[in-house]
């Protein structure tokens, strides 16, 4: 008998399946890398902001040295933008890092972590990795059912993950509902409000989560530079919470968890309003392009508030896999979501107009 290493709860973890890298699809299907279109990982189709590229080029000169473990300049930029003290900020190697740190910091093995059905897979992974018990609350219209979540809180619940907007479904919880929910969560339960797609929200839906952080010592707001800011490859995100929460996160994070190029690029990107605006605009245009097509084709989709759309491509359990494979053969990478329990659906990241058009053309041919 071979030796089994590690605890059972670690062995039970299913590996995270990300969007297929372009080079891998080129190899597998014998395609030209330059012609492949990737609409699979909710990356910014504009790539990185020029301001971030310049900042990184300057920071490269110092790469022989360790990064600033306290991220002074980046925290100063966040402080200026969001009007929170530096002591309220945790920098992360992607916001994924913040999510995992929260699980490690606030939950013991056997205690409960809560999240919604069809919410970000990393929540399940973070809970499993620490041997926590998961409370998965059934979704309502593919989004969070906050009433059911409030009622499902147990004595041993220590952490609740909420994504707003949610990935992979794109649903959005209006501010008033979220605020009412926060008021119902017991004070010993930490709520992670994961706002990875916040920058795509139109002005009329924006809300002041930082004001809630001031009001609720158990609230941790998480933001990423991977989506609208176009820095996914650098791995940089941050959390904002009062010191009682932030102190613990900072104690268990790796001292140099955010590299110096990422810190420099993030400072530049945070202040690049023009880039953010352009990203949101191109996203809104692409969303119309997609949803008009889905309406024409009579395909069901979930109205999205992020930079992607979840669309139902067939009625049988193999529909998502089948359409995905057919698209891959034509060099178009999208995201199957069977691992989220949505085998009839695909998640399509909104790209540049010509990328969206290529996807639309391929989809129309496939479904004809
Ligand atoms: C993409 C995403 C993240 C995190 O991405 P990082 O690159 O790790 O910052 C977090 N939450 C949700 C819901 C996401 O979709």
Complete DSSP assignment for 38-95: E-SS---TT-S-HHHHHHHHHHGGGTTSPP-TT-HHHHHHHHHHH---GGGEEEESSH
Mean pLDDT taken over the chain? 96
- The Å distance, Cα 196 to ligand 1 centre, comes to 5
- The Å distance, Cα 217 to ligand 1 centre, comes to 23
Q: Whose CA is nearest to atom 3 of ligand 1?
A: 196
Q: Is 163 in the pocket of ligand 1 (CB under 6 A)?
A: yes
Give percent of the chain with pLDDT exceeding 70.
100
Q: State the pLDDT at residue 306.
A: 98
Spatial neighbors of 223 by CB under 8 A, at least 6 apart, are 95, 195, 196, 198, 237, 238, 239, 240
Spatial neighbors of 153 by CB under 8 A, at least 6 apart, are 114, 160, 185, 186, 189
Regions of the chain short of the pLDDT cut 70 = 1
Q: State the pLDDT at residue 141.
A: 97
pTM, to two decimals: 0.97
Q: State the pLDDT at residue 20.
A: 82
- The Å distance, Cα 33 to ligand 1 centre, comes to 25
Q: What is the pLDDT of residues 75-86, one digit of tens each?
A: 999 999 999 999
Please check whether the domain covering 18-47+274-367 is classified as CATH 3.90.1150.10. Answer: yes
Q: Is 224 in the pocket of ligand 1 (CB under 6 A)?
A: yes
Please check whether the domain covering 61-271 is classified as CATH 3.30.2130.10. Answer: no
- The Å distance, Cα 220 to ligand 1 centre, comes to 15
Instruction: Count the Cβ atoms, other than its own, within 10 Å of residue 294.
Output: 19
CATH 3.40.640.10, the chain: domain bounds: 61-271
Spatial neighbors of 119 by CB under 8 A, at least 6 apart, are 139, 144, 161, 162, 163, 166, 167
Mutation pick for ligand 1 pocket among 18, 98, 167 (CB with most ligand atoms within 8 Å):
167
Q: Whose CA is nearest to atom 1 of ligand 1?
A: 196
Q: Whose CA is nearest to atom 11 of ligand 1?
A: 196
Q: Is 308 in the pocket of ligand 1 (CB under 6 A)?
A: no
- The Å distance, Cα 113 to ligand 1 centre, comes to 18
CA of 235, closest atom in ligand 1: 7
- The Å distance, Cα 120 to ligand 1 centre, comes to 8
User: Which residue is associated with the tokens 């979704």?
Assistant: 139
- The Å distance, Cα 10 to ligand 1 centre, comes to 22
Q: State the pLDDT at residue 18.
A: 75
CATH 3.90.1150.10, the chain: domain bounds: 18-47+274-367
Mutation pick for ligand 1 pocket among 192, 220, 224 (CB with most ligand atoms within 8 Å):
224
């Amino acid at each position: 008998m071979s030796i089994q290493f590690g605890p059972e709860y670690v062995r039970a973890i299913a590996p995270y399946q990300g969007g297929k890298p372009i080079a891998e699809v080129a190899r597998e299907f014998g395609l030209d890398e330059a012609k492949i279109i990737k609409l699979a990982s909710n990356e910014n189709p504009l790539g990185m902001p020029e301001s971030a590229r310049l900042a990184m080029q300057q920071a490269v000169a110092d790469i022989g040295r360790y990064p600033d473990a306290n991220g002074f300049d980046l925290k100063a930029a966040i402080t200026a933008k969001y009007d929170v003290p530096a002591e309220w900020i945790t920098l992360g190697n992607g916001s994924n890092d913040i999510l995992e740190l929260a699980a490690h910091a606030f939950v013991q093995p056997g205690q409960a972590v809560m999240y919604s059905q069809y919410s970000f897979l990393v929540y399940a992974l973070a809970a499993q990795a620490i041997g926590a018990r998961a409370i998965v609350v059934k979704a309502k219209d593919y989004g969070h059912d906050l009433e059911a979540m409030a009622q499902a809180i147990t004595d041993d619940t220590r952490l609740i993950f909420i994504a707003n907007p949610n990935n992979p479904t794109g649903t959005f919880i209006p501010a008033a509902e979220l605020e009412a929910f926060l008021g119902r969560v017991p004070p010993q339960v930490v709520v992670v409000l994961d706002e990875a797609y916040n920058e795509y929200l139109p002005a009329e839906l924006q809300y002041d989560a930082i004001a809630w952080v001031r009001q609720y010592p158990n609230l941790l707001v998480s933001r990423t530079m991977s989506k609208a800011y176009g820095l996914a490859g650098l791995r940089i995100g941050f959390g904002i919470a009062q010191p009682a929460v932030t102190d613990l996160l900072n104690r268990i994070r790796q001292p140099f968890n955010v590299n110096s190029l990422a810190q420099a690029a993030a400072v530049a990107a945070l202040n690049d309003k023009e880039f953010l605006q352009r990203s949101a605009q191109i996203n809104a245009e692409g969303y119309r392009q997609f949803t008009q097509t889905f309406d024409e084709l009579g395909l069901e989709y979930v109205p999205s508030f992020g930079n992607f759309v979840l669309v139902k491509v067939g009625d049988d359990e193999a529909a998502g896999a089948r359409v995905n494979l057919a698209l891959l053969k034509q060099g178009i990478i999208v995201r199957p979501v069977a691992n989220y329990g949505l085998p009839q659906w695909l998640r399509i990241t909104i790209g540049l107009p010509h990328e969206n058009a290529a996807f639309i053309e391929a989809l129309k041919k496939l479904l004809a």
